[in-house]
């Protein structure tokens, strides 16, 4: 099968849209799994579209590395089946269109992301029946086989409240990752640092286990520390980015 160029024009009405979001880490694994399935089902090649991001694997169907937001939105609107990485915004885009996405979480041990937050998030929402989780090539191929037979199995009417709750849960998961990965200072250094930056306004003196809010690190959607509220920022960003 001859792979099309990375900027190939999308089909007028793609049945299957695969998106890896805007993360700068390559997601070759998802593109490779998609190619493997298309080789077994060549009749679907022209009805599929892949947004491949930084992947080095060339998609075996019409594709583009990055897509303008309006164009991607139109592609997702017309898709029968949406396949995406485990980013909450990509998943929420599928939910907003009444689709249960086939989600493949990125794995940090393969250089696909910086931490396991996509794995944790996807497992939780899969338990609620809000995504179809694919963690192995066999899972992935089986789900696409099912979608090719009857894509209506991948439709769902999800209230906006459910979408918001799931994204809030993502914020909690990332907060937990921050807590587990935060470096632990030696007790003597920890106490000195806290005494220099006491908590204010709460009426409680600072001490071990009572850190001032301005010492608490937060994350952006890529897991990098900076100031601000992690949960509020993530809930907002999840609706704005193709994460």
70-125 pLDDT per residue, tens: 999 999 999 999 999 999 889 989 999 999 999 999 999 999 999 888 999 999 89
Q: What is the pLDDT of residue 231?
A: 40
One domain for residues 218 and 118:
no
Among 141, 157, 173, identify where a domain stops. Answer: 157
Hey, which bits of 44-184 come out as E strands? 48-51, 63-64, 81-85, 102-104, 132-133
Identify the domain containing residue 118 by its residue range: 16-157
The verdict on 50 and 124 lying in the same domain is: yes
On average, the pLDDT of the chain sits at 74
Quick check: is 81 in a domain?
yes
Better-scored residue on pLDDT, 109 or 235: 109
- Whether residues 127 and 175 share a domain: the answer is no
Whether residue 85 is found in the same domain as residue 138: yes
Mean pLDDT score, 126-149 = 95
| pLDDT recorded at residue 77 | 95
Are 200 and 142 in a shared domain?
Answer: no
Residues 26 and 129 in one domain: yes
Asked whether residue 11 is assigned to any structural domain, the reply reads no
Q: Is residue 68 part of a domain?
A: yes
Last residue of a domain, one of 126, 157, 188: 157
Report which of residues 10 and 194 the model is more confident about: 10
User: Are residues 92 and 179 both part of a single domain?
Assistant: no
Instruction: Say whether both 136 and 203 belong to one domain.
Output: no
Q: How far apart are CA 145 and CA 59, in angstroms?
A: 18
CATH number assigned to the domain comprising residue 125 = 3.40.50.2000
Q: Among 179, 162, 181, 160, which residue's Cα sits nearest to residue 231?
A: 179
Out of 126-130, 218-222, 225-229, pick the least confident. 218-222
């Amino acid at each position: 099968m001859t792979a099309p160029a990375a900027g190939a024009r999308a089909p007028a009405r793609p049945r299957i849209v695969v998106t890896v979001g805007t993360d700068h880490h390559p997601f070759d694994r998802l593109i490779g799994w998609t190619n493997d399935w298309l080789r077994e089902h060549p009749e679907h090649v022209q009805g599929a579209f892949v947004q491949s991001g930084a992947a080095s694997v060339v998609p075996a169907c019409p594709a583009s590395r990055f897509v303008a937001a309006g164009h991607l939105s139109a592609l997702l609107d017309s898709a029968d089946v949406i396949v995406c990485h485990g980013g909450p915004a990509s998943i929420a885009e599928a939910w907003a269109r009444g689709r249960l996405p086939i989600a493949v979480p990125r794995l940090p041990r393969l250089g696909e992301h910086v931490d396991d937050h996509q794995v944790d998030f996807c497992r939780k929402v899969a338990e609620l029946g809000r995504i179809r989780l694919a963690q192995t090539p066999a899972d992935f191929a089986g789900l696409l086989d099912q979608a090719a037979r009857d894509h209506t199995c991948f439709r769902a009417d999800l209230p906006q409240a459910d979408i918001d709750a799931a994204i809030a849960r993502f914020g909690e998961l990332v907060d937990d990752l921050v807590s587990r990965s935060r470096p632990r200072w030696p007790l003597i250094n920890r106490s000195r640092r806290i005494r220099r930056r006491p908590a204010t306004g709460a009426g409680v003196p600072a001490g071990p286990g009572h850190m001032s809010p301005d010492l608490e690190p937060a994350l952006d959607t890529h897991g990098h520390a900076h100031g601000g509220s992690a949960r509020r920022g993530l809930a907002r960003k999840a609706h704005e980015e193709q994460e």
